[in-house]
């Protein structure tokens, strides 16, 4: 069973992130991801970037469910924190 920390490390291996927070119970995970890689990309493209990078662990069912609660650029994240 995966831990939130393991899922966080998997995401960090897929794309450079300024911030990642993952919560979950071993089956379902919720991620908040902030990355410069999201600049100029629509919401769906941002989610696809992450999920495509994790395709192997998702296909193997090792990572059962990942909900991307936040996929923000650093400037979007900073504005949200104010």
The per-residue pLDDT string of the chain (82 residues; one tens digit each, 9 = 90 and over) reads 899 999 999 999 999 999 999 999 988 999 999 999 999 999 999 999 999 999 999 999 999 899 999 999 999 999 998 8
pLDDT at 72: 98
CA dihedral sign of residues 75, 58, 22, 6 = negative
> Using an 8 Å Cβ cutoff, are 22 and 4 in contact?
yes
What domains can you pick out in the chain, each with its CATH number? 4-72 (3.30.300.90)
* pTM of the entire predicted model: 0.93
């Amino acid at each position: 069973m995966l831990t939130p920390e393991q899922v966080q490390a998997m995401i960090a291996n897929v794309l450079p992130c300024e911030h990642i927070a993952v919560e979950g119970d071993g089956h379902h995970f919720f991620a908040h991801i902030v990355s410069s890689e999201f600049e100029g990309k629509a919401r769906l493209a941002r989610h696809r970037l992450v999920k495509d990078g994790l395709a192997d662990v998702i296909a193997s069912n090792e990572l059962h469910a990942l909900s991307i609660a936040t996929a923000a650029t650093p400037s979007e994240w900073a504005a949200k924190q104010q």
